[in-house]
C-alpha cells in the first residue's frame, strides 16, 4: 500500500516506507472526516440521508478509489481491529450517551427499557441462533458448532439505532426517543456480555448446571458493571467537591472528569466486566453530581468536549466500515461460493426481522399493562418505529464478528470468511435500506400534529445536563400529570405506580444523603471562577 500511495506523496521521500503509509493514512482519514462533516451539514435537512449514511457512502466510495489505485489489492489503509473499536472508539460514544441523556425520561421508562434491552436481546439471540441451526444445515454449512451458533445469535442481536436517533428528537418525542436510545445502550451491553459469556463456557455438552452458571455469570456481569460505573462517577464527584480543582485550574477538573470516565471503562475491561454498561452509568452519575461541582466554564467545556469526541468516533466508525466492506482479502475466499454467502446473509436478515418482532410487540403489550396513563403507553405506531429502529446492524456486530471469526483482523479460512462477508453484507444492507427509510417512515407514522401531542407530556422536561437524576418534585410528578400519591405508601400503591414511588424514595435519599456528600444540583462552588479565568 505504501508503494501505491508513495507517488501521491513525493515530498515524503525522506521518510521510511512504514512512515509513508502511516502519514498517508492519517492524512486521508482526516480529510475524509472533514468531508463527512461538511457534506453531512449540507445534507442535514435531507429527507433520506443522515450523517451516518453519508459517512458510510463516502467510505464505500473511498474504498473503490483505493481499489483502483492499488490494482485491486486492498480497499483500506487500516486493518479492522476489535481492540481499536472497544478500547478507543466505543467509550466516548457510550459515555456521552449517558452524560447527555434526559435522566428523568430514562428512569421513568427504565423497566420498559430493560425489558427491550435485556430480555428482548435474549429472545432475539435465541431466535437467531435456533433459526441458524435449522437453516444453515440445509445449506451444507457444517463447520459451526453450538458455541458458534450462539455467538452468531449474540452478534446479530446487537442493534445500531444511530440512524434513528439522528431523526428522533428528545423534545418532540420524549417517550419514543427514551425507549429507542435506552434500549440501544442496554442492548449493546447485553450483546457484548452475552457474547463474552458464551466464549467463556464450554457449550459442547449442555446441562442444567451449565445453564444456571451461565445465567448467574450473565447477571453478575450486569450488576457488577453497573455498580462499578456508578461508583467511579461518585468517586469523581467526591474528589472534585472536596478538592475543588477549579480554584487552581479549570483544565485540571476537565481532565479529571475525562480520565475518570475512561478509567471506569478500562477497570471494567480489566475485571472482565461490561465496559459499555460501566461507562454509561458513569456518565449518568457524573452528569448528576460531578458536572454540578465544577466551574461554569468547565461545564461548557466538558459538555462540548464529550459530544465532539463521540461525534468523531461515530463518524470514523461508519467511514471505516464502508472502506472495510470492499476488502478483497475477505471476498476472495468466498469467490467460488458466492451464492452461499448471499444465502447466509438473506437467512440471517430474515431471522433479524423475525427476532426483533418476536419481542417488541409482546413486550410492548406487557409494558402497557403496567401503565395507568394512556400518555405513557406505547402506541402501535410507536411500536413499529421501535421495531424498525432495531433492525440496523453496525460496528458492534462487526467487532464481535471479527473477534469470533478472524485472527488480528485477517481470515485465511473460507468458512470464517463466509461469516465475515455475511456480517458486512447485513451491516451495509440494513444501514443503507432501513436507514434511508427511517425519516419517511417516522414522518408517515408520526406526522407533525401527532408529534406535538407527545410534546405536551414532556414540554417541561428539563435539559439533560441540569435535570436531577429522577427529577425534582415538580419534574417527576408535575410533568407526568399524575396526582400525588398518598402517604404512607402501601404495597398495592407500589405495585400500581412503582416508578412514582421509587422516585419519591430516591428523591428523599438523594436530598438527605447523596447531595450533601457528593454535591450535585444546588451545590455552590466556593469560588465562581478559577484564577486563570480572571482578567489580568
DSSP state of 158: -
Task: State the alpha helices, DSSP H only, in 325-413.
Answer: 328-331, 338-369, 380-389, 395-405
Q: Which residue's entry shows cell 521521500?
A: 13
The whole-number pLDDT of residue 380 equals 93
The whole-number pLDDT of residue 277 equals 87
206-264 pLDDT per residue, tens: 667 777 877 787 788 888 999 999 999 999 999 988 887 656 677 888 899 999 999 99
Q: What share of the chain is helix, strand, coil (3-state, %, to 5)?
A: 75, 0, 25
* Distant-in-sequence, close-in-space partners of 421: CB < 8 Å, separation ≥ 6: 330, 331, 334, 341, 345
Q: Collapsing DSSP states into helix, strand and coil, what is residue 490?
A: coil
- Taking the chain (536 residues) in runs of 10, the rounded mean pLDDT of each run is 46 52 81 90 73 86 83 67 82 89 81 91 94 85 82 91 74 83 86 83 69 79 91 93 72 90 94 88 92 87 92 88 77 71 90 95 91 83 92 87 76 77 90 85 75 39 42 37 43 50 74 82 54 40
How far, in Å, CA of 28 to CA of 53, rounded? Answer: 19
From residue 401, give the alpha-carbon distance in Å to each of 141, 151, 152, 153: 17, 9, 8, 11
Contact 533, 250 (CB under 8 A): yes
- 523 CB burial (10 A radius; 0-12, 13-18, 19+): middle
Residue 164: all three cell numbers together: 434513528
How far, in Å, CA of 424 to CA of 229, rounded? Answer: 32
Contact 181, 165 (CB under 8 A): yes
Concatenating the DSSP letter of every residue in 290-337 gives: GGGGS-HHHHHHHHHHHHHHHHHHHHHHHHHHHHHTT-HHHHGGGTT-
Q: Would you tell me the crossing angle of helices 174-199 and 275-288 to the nearest 10 degrees?
A: 140
Element (H, E) at 55: helix 51-69
The whole-number pLDDT of residue 140 equals 75
- Tell me the sheet residues that pair with 407: 410
Contact 359, 123 (CB under 8 A): yes
How far, in Å, CA of 485 to CA of 492, rounded? Answer: 12
Q: Collapsing DSSP states into helix, strand and coil, what is residue 407?
A: strand
How far, in Å, CA of 503 to CA of 498, rounded? Answer: 8
| DSSP tally for the chain: helices H, then strands E | 27, 0
Whether a cis peptide bond, with omega within 30° of 0, leads into 122 is: no
Residue 75: all three cell numbers together: 480497499
pTM above 0.85, yes or no: no
How far, in Å, CA of 383 to CA of 219, rounded? Answer: 27
Q: Collapsing DSSP states into helix, strand and coil, what is residue 274?
A: coil
Angle at 116 between CA 113 and CA 121, to 5 degrees: 135
55-86 pLDDT per residue, tens: 888 988 888 888 888 776 766 666 667 778 88
Phi-psi region of 180 (alpha: psi -120 to 50; beta: other; left: phi over 0): alpha
- Tell me the sheet residues that pair with 410: 407
Q: What are phi and psi of 364, to 5 degrees?
A: -65, -40
Please give the mean pLDDT across all residues of the chain.
78
How far, in Å, CA of 77 to CA of 25, rounded? Answer: 6
Concatenating the DSSP letter of every residue in 450-467 gives: HHHHHHHHHTTPPPTTTS
The whole-number pLDDT of residue 116 equals 93
How far, in Å, CA of 423 to CA of 421, rounded? Answer: 5
Beta-carbon count within 10 A of 458 CB: 23
| Stated length of the chain | 536
Amino acid at each position: 500500500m505504501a508503494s501505491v500511495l508513495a507517488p501521491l506523496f513525493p515530498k515524503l521521500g525522506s521518510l521510511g516506507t512504514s512512515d509513508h503509509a502511516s502519514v498517508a493514512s492519517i492524512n486521508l482519514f482526516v480529510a475524509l472526516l472533514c468531508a463527512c462533516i461538511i457534506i453531512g451539514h449540507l445534507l442535514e435537512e435531507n429527507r433520506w440521508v443522515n450523517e451516518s449514511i453519508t459517512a458510510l457512502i463516502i467510505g464505500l466510495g473511498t474504498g473503490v478509489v483505493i481499489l483502483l489505485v492499488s490494482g485491486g489489492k486492498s480497499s483500506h489503509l487500516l486493518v479492522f481491529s476489535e481492540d481499536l473499536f472497544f478500547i478507543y472508539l466505543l467509550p466516548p460514544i457510550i459515555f456521552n450517551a449517558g452524560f447527555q441523556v434526559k435522566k428523568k425520561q430514562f428512569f421513568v421508562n427504565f423497566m420498559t427499557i430493560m425489558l427491550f434491552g435485556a430480555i428482548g436481546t435474549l429472545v432475539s439471540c435465541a431466535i437467531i441462533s435456533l433459526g441458524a441451526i435449522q437453516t444453515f444445515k440445509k445449506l451444507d454449512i457444517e463447520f459451526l458448532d453450538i458455541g458458534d451458533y450462539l455467538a452468531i445469535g449474540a452478534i446479530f442481536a446487537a442493534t445500531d439505532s444511530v440512524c434513528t436517533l439522528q431523526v428522533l428528537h428528545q423534545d418532540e418525542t420524549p417517550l419514543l426517543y427514551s425507549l429507542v436510545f435506552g434500549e440501544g445502550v442496554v442492548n449493546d451491553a447485553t450483546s457484548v456480555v452475552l457474547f463474552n459469556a458464551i466464549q467463556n463456557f464450554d457449550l459442547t455438552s449442555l446441562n442444567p448446571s451449565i445453564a444456571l452458571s451461565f445465567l448467574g455469570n450473565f447477571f453478575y456481569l450486569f450488576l457488577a458493571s453497573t455498580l462499578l460505573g456508578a461508583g467511579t462517577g461518585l468517586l469523581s464527584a467526591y474528589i472534585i467537591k472536596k478538592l475543588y480543582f477549579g480554584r487552581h485550574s479549570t483544565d485540571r477538573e476537565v481532565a479529571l472528569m475525562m480520565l475518570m470516565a475512561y478509567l471506569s471503562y478500562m477497570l471494567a475491561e480489566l475485571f472482565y466486566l461490561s465496559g459499555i454498561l460501566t461507562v454509561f452509568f458513569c456518565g449518568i452519575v457524573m452528569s448528576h453530581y460531578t458536572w454540578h461541582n465544577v466551574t461554569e466554564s468547565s461545564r461548557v467545556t466538558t459538555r462540548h468536549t464529550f459530544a465532539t469526541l463521540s461525534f468523531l468516533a461515530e463518524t470514523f466508525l461508519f467511514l471505516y466500515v464502508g472502506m472495510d466492506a470492499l476488502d478483497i482479502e475477505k471476498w476472495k475466499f468466498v469467490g467460488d461460493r458466492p451464492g452461499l454467502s448471499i444465502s447466509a446473509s438473506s437467512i440471517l436478515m430474515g431471522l433479524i426481522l423475525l427476532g426483533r418482532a418476536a419481542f417488541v410487540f409482546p413486550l410492548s403489550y406487557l409494558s402497557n399493562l403496567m401503565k395507568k396513563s394512556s400518555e405513557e403507553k406505547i402506541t402501535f405506531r410507536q411500536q413499529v418505529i421501535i421495531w424498525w429502529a432495531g433492525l440496523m446492524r453496525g460496528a458492534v456486530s462487526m467487532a464481535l464478528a471479527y473477534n469470533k471469526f478472524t485472527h488480528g483482523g485477517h481470515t485465511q479460512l473460507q468458512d470464517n470468511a463466509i461469516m465475515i462477508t455475511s456480517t458486512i453484507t447485513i451491516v451495509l444492507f440494513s444501514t443503507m435500506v432501513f436507514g434511508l427509510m427511517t425519516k419517511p417512515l417516522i414522518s408517515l407514522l408520526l406526522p407533525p400534529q401527532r408529534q406535538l401531542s407527545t410534546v405536551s407530556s414532556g414540554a417541561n422536561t428539563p435539559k439533560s445536563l441540569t435535570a436531577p437524576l429522577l427529577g425534582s418534585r415538580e419534574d417527576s410528578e408535575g410533568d407526568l400529570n399524575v396526582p400525588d400519591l398518598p402517604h404512607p405508601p402501601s404495597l398495592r400503591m407500589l405495585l400500581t405506580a412503582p416508578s412514582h414511588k421509587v422516585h419519591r424514595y430516591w428523591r428523599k435519599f438523594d436530598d438527605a444523603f447523596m447531595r450533601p456528600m457528593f454535591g450535585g444540583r444546588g451545590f455552590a462552588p466556593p469560588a465562581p471562577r478559577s484564577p486563570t479565568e480572571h482578567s489580568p
